[in-house]
Structures are given as C-alpha cells and as structure tokens.
Amino acid sequence: MIPSSIIAKSLTWQRTKAVKLDVTFFEALSAELFYAFQVEMRVLADNQQKPSIESSNAADPVSDTSTHSGWLTAACFPFCLKIVVRLTVFALFGKSLCRDVAFLDLCCEFGNAFPMDALLLRWFPTWAKPFVVRYLTSTQHLRKLQEKIRAEVDSRRNSFEKNPMKDILDYTMDWIDNRRDPMYGDAHVVHVMISFISGALHTTSQLMAHTLFELATRPDYIGVLREEVEQCFEQHGQGTKAAMDSMYKMDSFIKETQRFNPLDAASLARVALKEFTFSNGLHVPKGSVIFTPNSPIFDDERFYPNAKTFDGFRFSRMRGDPKLKSSCDLTATNEQSMHFGIGRHACPGRFMASDEVKLAVIFILQNFDIAMENFGPRPKNHAFGKFMLPDLAAKIWLRGSTTGKV
C-alpha cells in the first residue's frame, strides 16, 4: 500500500495547481462541470419529453421557462452523484476517462455498492468472509475497475509523450518511478486510484444533495448568494478560483448545511490498545472503540448559539471575530468542527470536495431556479446507524433562471 502521506501530497499538489494563475487546471475543472450539467440536463429534458436544453456554449444552458412546464424533475442524489463522479474522475485521470460514460457508470455503481456490501459483510463470521466477498456486487465492480485503470496505466507507460504531470494518476506514477523501490508497483497505483473513488463519491455527493435541498427550501438565501457570486466575479474575474474562494456567504451556507446535516454522528474511530483513566476519572478499558463526537458538538449551544436553528450566514458573520476567522472556512478543522477529521488525520481530499460542491452551487445559482418537487418541504434525513443520509430518492425541480443569469 502506498503511504497515506503520498496520497495527501498528491492532493496538495493538485490543490496548488488549482490556485496558480499560470496553470489552467481550475479553468478546465470548471469547464468539465459545465459540460457535466449540460449532459445531465439534456438527459432530464429527453426523459421528460421537454424541449431540449440548448446553449451557444457549454457554460450557458437555458431551458424553456416561458411557463410552469419549464421545470425539469431530477432525483437529487443520483443527479449530484453524476456531477461529482465526472469531476472526480477528471481530477484523477484527466479528460479521457471522465468522458468515458461506461467508466463513469462503473464508478457510480461501485460507489453505491461498496458501503452496503461492507455493512453486509460484517454479519458473517470471520472464517466465512473470504468466501462471501467473492460474490458481492462491489467485488465484481472492483475487478472491472482494476482492469480499466490498469489499462490506463499501461497506456501511459507505453506512450512516448513526456508531458508535464496533469492529474493525480500522473503524480502517483511519477512517485513510483522516482522511488525505484521494488516494494511498490503499478498494482499499488491502481489500488490508490480505487481508494480515491470509493472515498470521494458518496461523501461529496451527499453534501451536494443536502446543500441543494437547503437551497430549494430556503429561497430567501438565493438572491443574496446570487448577488455575492456576481460581485466576486466582477472583482476577481469570471469563473476564477480567487473569486470562488472570496464567496464567504456561500462557503458559510454550505458549512451550515454540513453542521445541520452531519453525514456522520461520530468519526475518527480508534481502538484503545491499553486501558486509560482520564484526570476526571473517566476510565477507558482496553479494546474500547473511541469516537470524536460530531452531532453532539454541532448541537451544543456553547459552540453554536441557536444550534437548533439553520443560519446560513452563521460562519460568514463569525469571520468578523479575529479569534474565530480561521475556523470559519468549510474546509477548516478544529475541536468544534471535525467533519473532515482534525490535525494530521484531517481528510486531504476536503479541498477538492469543497471546490466541487461550490462549483455546482455557483452554476445552479447562475443558471437555474430550484425547488423541491411540487414545491414540497425539505425531505427528511434517514439515520443508518451513526450515519445521517439525505433522502436518496427525493426529487428537485430545476428550470432556467427567470431572473436571468447573474
């Protein structure tokens, strides 16, 4: 297994690419987001026999908005998953695989099957697991992914082109080459890429779905957020990373969505290797599983006043306090916000996840009106053990913005 530190370095390398003005990675990622929306909206239009979405360019799709029938219905989570998988595959493998529909579908199917199969496997005794795992759906998808990614690695190995590194696969292969350690090979590269896929798709898609549910049922926020998008693009340049990073109200809205709808009630699980007694007398027996609390902290009035109330601009206001400013970003980690872990165990992919969700929200604000199906209430979340899932079947309505593109 390639060290986790190298995985973190590859994501840091990509993050650096995204913020450099002389590198076109973020521009290309944005273009892929626009293309993904264009594809998915056309699918929705075709499936619902609505007028096709036409556009003079990939960044400006416009649907029929002359009547109420201009609304298109989308199953929110599957829609978000389609967007996220395309962006994630672009970051990992570049344009060739992110335009491969069969590969994208395979990634989605693996992402859907993997967590359910992992839970199913827990019900079997240890001796039976090696036999059961062979017949799991995720195992079949895993083999296909391994074959496809290995073929991509081999193709790059056989290419005579020596272009600069352009994606995470290039970075990981380069690390293997420079390491010159027989302990690591291309099989490890394939393993790392699949780990990225399994770790990134559902968590980011769920956060995006939660955010769209909140937008769809809290229309008072939409005008303010649209105005911020317009102002930041005017100040920092249309579609730039600097502009997006300056959208503090949007960042706050997504972070509050995450606080209000935590994906995991407790995280950073650790097993106590020996018994330990804290200074307050709390005793932890050897073998105990310890978690950091997410939901209890997010509901604690000491840290979040009016914690039971959704306050979309809670964190943008907190930026006015110098002591709290550094903890207000969506990607910030501290003792009161451990969505993404904390310290050296913080999720290295959180910056990519943040960028993907923000790009999608910006695009929707610029181009679409949004509502729940039949203008209904926000769908209830579903508890699955300690996990809090959005309603995976709930539907949203989208139509070309009646206020015009900001």
Is the pTM here over 0.85, yes or no? Answer: yes
CA distance 167 to 182: 24
Taking only the tens place, the pLDDT of each residue in 143-159 is: 999 999 999 999 998 88
Count of the separate structural domains present in the chain: 2
Taking CA atoms, 168 is separated from 91, 185, 306, in Å, by: 7, 16, 42
Look at residue 63 in the predicted model and tell me its pLDDT. Answer: 39
Query: Is 42 found in the same domain as 134?
Result: yes
Taking only the tens place, the pLDDT of each residue in 229-282 is: 999 999 999 889 999 999 999 999 999 999 999 998 888 889 999 999 999 999
pLDDT-derived band of residue 163, with 50, 70 and 90 as boundaries?
A: low
Query: Is 211 found in the same domain as 106?
Result: yes
Look at residue 161 in the predicted model and tell me its pLDDT. Answer: 65
Query: Is 125 found in the same domain as 8?
Result: yes
CA distance 114 to 127: 21
Query: Is 286 found in the same domain as 211?
Result: no
Query: Is 198 found in the same domain as 131?
Result: yes
Query: Is 137 found in the same domain as 278?
Result: no
Question: Would 238 be classed as within a structural domain?
Answer: no
3-state secondary structure of 404: coil
Query: Is 278 found in the same domain as 382?
Result: no
Question: Would 102 be classed as within a structural domain?
Answer: yes
Give the list of residues 6+ apart from residue 386 with CB closer than 8 angstroms, or none. 264, 265, 266, 291
Question: Would 191 be classed as within a structural domain?
Answer: yes
Look at residue 324 in the predicted model and tell me its pLDDT. Answer: 83
Look at residue 61 in the predicted model and tell me its pLDDT. Answer: 38
Look at residue 146 in the predicted model and tell me its pLDDT. Answer: 96
Question: Would 183 be classed as within a structural domain?
Answer: yes
Query: Is 293 found in the same domain as 179?
Result: no
Question: Would 336 be classed as within a structural domain?
Answer: no
Report which of 203, 348, 307 is spatially closest to residue 263, judged by C-alpha positions.
203
Count of C-beta atoms within a 10 Å radius of residue 113:
18
> Which of 48-57, 140-149, 214-223 shows the lowest mean pLDDT across its residues?
48-57
Query: Which sign does the torsion angle of CA 248, 401, 207, 90 carry?
Result: negative
Query: Is 120 found in the same domain as 30?
Result: yes
Q: Which two tokens stand for residue 358?
A: 């923000």
Q: Mean pLDDT of all residues in the chain?
A: 88
Taking only the tens place, the pLDDT of each residue in 101-146 is: 999 999 999 988 988 888 889 889 999 999 999 999 999 999 999 9
Query: Is 145 found in the same domain as 57?
Result: yes
CA distance 284 to 320: 40
- In terms of average pLDDT, the best of 3-17, 83-97, 336-350, 390-404 is 83-97
Look at residue 23 in the predicted model and tell me its pLDDT. Answer: 67
Look at residue 377 in the predicted model and tell me its pLDDT. Answer: 96
Range 287-304 average pLDDT = 92
Look at residue 326 in the predicted model and tell me its pLDDT. Answer: 82
Query: Is 288 found in the same domain as 186?
Result: no
pLDDT-derived band of residue 405, with 50, 70 and 90 as boundaries?
A: low
Look at residue 67 in the predicted model and tell me its pLDDT. Answer: 40
Report which of 86, 108, 111 is spatially closest to residue 97, judged by C-alpha positions.
86
Question: Would 373 be classed as within a structural domain?
Answer: yes
The answer on pLDDT for 329 being more than 60 is: yes
Question: Would 26 be classed as within a structural domain?
Answer: yes
Question: Would 229 be classed as within a structural domain?
Answer: no
Query: Is 287 found in the same domain as 209?
Result: no
Count of C-beta atoms within a 10 Å radius of residue 145:
21
Taking only the tens place, the pLDDT of each residue in 354-397 is: 999 999 999 999 999 999 999 999 999 998 888 889 999 999 99
CA distance 153 to 189: 8
Taking only the tens place, the pLDDT of each residue in 8-51 is: 888 888 878 777 766 688 889 999 999 999 999 999 888 874 43
The answer on pLDDT for 56 being more than 80 is: no
Look up the CATH number of the domain holding residue 108.
Answer: 1.10.630.10
- Residue 283's domain spans which residues? 265-298
Count of C-beta atoms within a 10 Å radius of residue 326:
10
Look at residue 325 in the predicted model and tell me its pLDDT. Answer: 83
Give the list of residues 6+ apart from residue 125 with CB closer than 8 angstroms, or none. none
